[in-house]
Amino acid sequence: MQVDFGAKELTVKLVYYGPALSGKTTNLRAIHWLAASNTRGELMTLETQNDRTLFFDMLPITVSSESGLKVRLKLFTVPGQVMHNTTRRLVLQAADGVAFVADSQRSEDDANRESFANLKENLAEIGIDPERIPIIIQFNKRDLEGIRTDEELEAIAAQSRATIYKAVATRGYGVVQTLLGLIRETWNNLETEHGLEEKFGINPTRLLTELESTLKHDPRQRGR
Amino acid sequence: MMHDDTSAADLLMGDVVRLEDVLSRDAVTMVCKSFFALFGLPVRVVSHEGDLLADAHQERPLCRYLNTLAGGEKACANTVSAVRDVEPTDRAIVHPCFTGAVYRVAPLSYQGRLIGRFIVGPYVPAGTKKAPSSLSSVDSAIDAKTALAHFAAMPRVRDDVAEKLVAHMQGMLELLVFSGHRAQLASTMQVANVRENYRELAEKNERLKASFAELKELDKLKSSFLATVSHELRTPLTSIIGYAEMLESGAAGTLSDGQSEFLRTIRAKADQLLGLISSLLDLGQLEADSLRLNKKAVDARALLSDVGSTVVPAANRGNIRLEINVDEDTPRVHGDPVRLRQIIVNLAENAVKFTPEGGEVELSAEPGSLDSGIADGLGAALFRSTQPAVVLTVRDTGRGIPEDKLARIFDAFYQIDGGTTREHGGAGLGLSIVKQLVDGHDGKIEVTSEVDAGTVFVIKLPAADDDA
């Protein structure tokens, strides 16, 4: 988190982590598409020729709260491919919250597990306590065959500290819920650590409502 | 990791700190010039801190004329300075000039942050017919007719057009910022990656170095332990052999045929064990660098003949032809006669052991040279020094050694395969000892082999000085 008291500006860094091809960039693309254009900047992707993330993707979202404070969310993805571990560690630095995008397919169980272990390892390496930073888990690709069932996910959720979200990022389903969930947990954590409400006079419920309304184009909500 | 590194901290949040960091002055100047050429409207780009990054304009005749007047020059400077200080936040601000012209100042923001602004103008809003009184009253010496004529010649722009042009320019500049920022992030990330990888590798190298030193120390301990244990084993064994010999010679009374035979077996097995222990002792001493070589000039012919007589019984048993060839110009070897014998006996015994019936083993010696200094590649020819040497060759027509095993045959305890070991016995120490003895003589040993065709060991040892 970065605070600029002069500019009344708060910057929060959120990182999308997960195994290769689990849909991290797709999440950001969906958010970019769903977010109201006056709040979000351009989606910056640093990718190789075959559309694989090389360094990271970055999507800035800016919301002004009623108190006059500007909240800037910086959403980052890491490159999932195993060989880019150094980059993942660099991108993770100064993260305030992490969304772990897991692939729901059973065949990807090992990749999910390895990537999650890698996340914890990298967090510890850069001096962030993996047990304290807000981490939420998104099980993506719910529309595919051979996936972990809802019951299994519920069982995982019951055992895990992390909240679990389900998504089909290619269609934008669950993407906003994941992001809002991550923001909520990150905000609570920052509030506990820094007392933001008192310092900036922000009402967290109102801020979240405002964020929700900037992401109002969620096709799932539209469909119901 | 990049703690306490300011550029890294900016990178971590992916923010642009200053407009000039991401905007190439050349690129933005070209864009402004092209805008000016197309629409005839002057453009200036100013950073958030107030630095002028690009400026495309031509002084208007009106401005030129006013600058010749003291009052006009002052009013003009004040206006320009005031325009530069205008800081629009979310939309363009129209700032008036005393001449009746206007400047349009628009914000440049990126990722929710103001990073600069640009100024379009001066131009006169379309529909303005009359110049304001502030123009004619700016200086007492002003010629109103000239001033008004110049005013009439000023470019006229409709408000809605001006708005569109400014929006277009804004889009262009923000796109330049975006792509500049993208390039900046990629290169910073690249550098950070290289630095981080370098740090990681350097750390790993340090750890490897430490563990290598530790292993080396352990290896030394192992070798010295091996030498001590072998020595301690040999002492009682020598007594066992001695007493067996005495029994055999009848020193403790006459033996029956059965007793003699048993004793012979005890002797043979004890000798075998002594050989093995001696090898271990040699290896231990060689590895602990504590073997002393008693070097002198050794005649190659005598050396090979001696070895030949040692292995000939085994060769005869296997119906193997043993041949010894010594070039008459062969110099004497500078070495320890006992160890040289050990080297050649070892190789010759191996050759006989692995050569099938009817095969051939050849021991030969000839003059040669030994290279030292840079082995190969650049500078090899310049820095290489050669010295006279004796080339000893042990050649057989045996089963040969597979290519993938060749690199390991000089390792201690290495056997080419279990099957061979069972068939032929041995502890896998011979070649390791040979290699270390050759090294101890500052010589070189090379092996070439072809499966089912035979193996050739070539040893180059320094010649004795007298013969060199």
Residues of chain B with CATH 3.30.565.10: 292-467
Please report, rounded to a whole number, the percentage of residues in chain B having pLDDT higher than 70.
90
Q: Are A109 and A47 in contact (CB under 8 A)?
A: no
**Residue B104 CA to chain centroid, in angstroms?**
57
pLDDT, residue A179, reads: 95
Lowest mean pLDDT among A115-119, A161-165, B16-20, B87-91: B16-20
> Nearest CA to A93 among B188, B23, B183, B112?
B188
Nearest to A86 among B185, B186, B193 (CB): B193
pLDDT band at B3 (very low <50, low <70, confident <90, very high): very low
Q: Is B379's pLDDT higher than 70?
A: no
Q: Is B219's pLDDT higher than 80?
A: yes
> Nearest CA to A169 among A196, A189, A141?
A141
Instruction: Give the other-Cβ count within 10 Å of B171's Cβ.
Output: 10
Q: Is B68's pLDDT higher than 90?
A: yes
- pLDDT tens, residue by residue, B151-199: 999 989 999 999 999 999 999 999 999 999 999 888 888 898 899 999 9
Q: Is B376's pLDDT higher than 70?
A: no
- pLDDT tens, residue by residue, B359-368: 999 999 999 9
Average confidence (pLDDT) over B100-119 = 93
Please report, for the domain that includes residue A22, its CATH number: 3.40.50.300
pLDDT, residue A223, reads: 36
Q: Which residues of A touch B14 (CB under 8 A)?
A: 44, 56, 58, 60, 74, 76
Residues of chain B with CATH 1.10.287: 198-286
Average confidence (pLDDT) over B282-306 = 83
Per-residue pLDDT of chain A (224 residues; tens, 9 = 90+): 888 878 788 899 999 999 999 999 999 999 999 888 778 888 998 887 777 888 889 999 988 877 778 889 999 999 998 889 999 999 999 999 999 999 999 999 999 999 999 999 999 999 999 999 999 999 999 999 999 999 999 988 888 888 999 999 999 999 999 999 999 999 999 988 888 888 777 777 888 888 888 876 544 444 33
Q: Is B420's pLDDT higher than 60?
A: no
Select from 1.10.260, 1.10.150, 1.10.20, 1.10.287 the CATH code of B198-286: 1.10.287
pLDDT, residue A224, reads: 34
Q: Which domain holds residue A183?
A: 2-223
Nearest to A72 among B9, B111, B193 (CB): B111
Of B429 and A134, more confident: A134
- Write down the ipTM of this complex: 0.85
Q: Rounded distance, CA B71 to CA B141, Å?
A: 9
Q: How far is A220 from chain B (nearest CA, A)?
A: 27
Signed CA dihedral, B26, B30, B31, B32: sign only? positive
Q: How far is B8 from chain A (nearest CA, A)?
A: 9
Residues of chain B with CATH 3.30.450: 6-190
- pLDDT tens, residue by residue, B36-53: 999 999 999 999 988 999
Substitution target in B13, B16, B110, B196 with the highest count of A β-carbons within 10 Å is B13
pLDDT band at B291 (very low <50, low <70, confident <90, very high): confident
Establish if A48 touches chain B: CB-CB under 8 angstroms.
no
Number of residue pairs across A and B with CB atoms under 8 Å? Answer: 69
Please report, rounded to a whole number, the percentage of residues in chain B having pLDDT higher than 90.
50
B58-62: list long-range contacts, CB under 8 Å, 24+ apart: B60/B122, B60/B150, B60/B153, B60/B154, B61/B150, B61/B153, B62/B99, B62/B101, B62/B147, B62/B150, B62/B151, B62/B153, B62/B154
| Class of the CATH domain delimited by B292-467 | alpha beta
pLDDT, residue A40, reads: 85
| Burial track B66-81 (b if 16+ CB lie within 10 A, e otherwise) | beebeebeebbeebbe
**Which of B 89-118 lie inside 8 A of A, CB atoms?**
110-113
| Burial track A104-132 (b if 16+ CB lie within 10 A, e otherwise) | bbeebeebbeebbebbeebbeeeebeeee
pLDDT band at B405 (very low <50, low <70, confident <90, very high): confident
Q: Which residues of A touch B185 (CB under 8 A)?
A: 44, 46, 55, 58
Q: How far is B201 from chain A (nearest CA, A)?
A: 12
Q: Rounded distance, CA B268 to CA B273, Å?
A: 9
Establish if A85 touches chain B: CB-CB under 8 angstroms.
no
Q: How far is B48 from chain A (nearest CA, A)?
A: 13
Q: CA neighbours within 13 Å on the CB side: how many for A171?
A: 15
Provide the mean pLDDT of chain B: 87
* Beta carbons of B192 and A2 less than 8 Å apart: no
Instruction: Give the other-Cβ count within 10 Å of B363's Cβ.
Output: 24
User: If one looks up domain B6-190 in CATH, what number appears?
Assistant: 3.30.450
Establish if A11 touches chain B: CB-CB under 8 angstroms.
yes
Instruction: Work out how many domains chain A is built from and give that number.
Output: 1
Establish if A13 touches chain B: CB-CB under 8 angstroms.
yes
Q: How far apart are the first and last CA of chain B?
A: 61
Indicate left, alpha or beta for A44 from its phi (over 0: left) and psi (-120 to 50: alpha).
beta
Q: Are B177 and B115 in contact (CB under 8 A)?
A: yes
- Counting beta carbons within 10 angstroms of the beta carbon of residue A172, is it exposed (0 to 12), middle (13 to 18) or buried (19 or more)? buried
Q: How far is A110 from chain B (nearest CA, A)?
A: 26
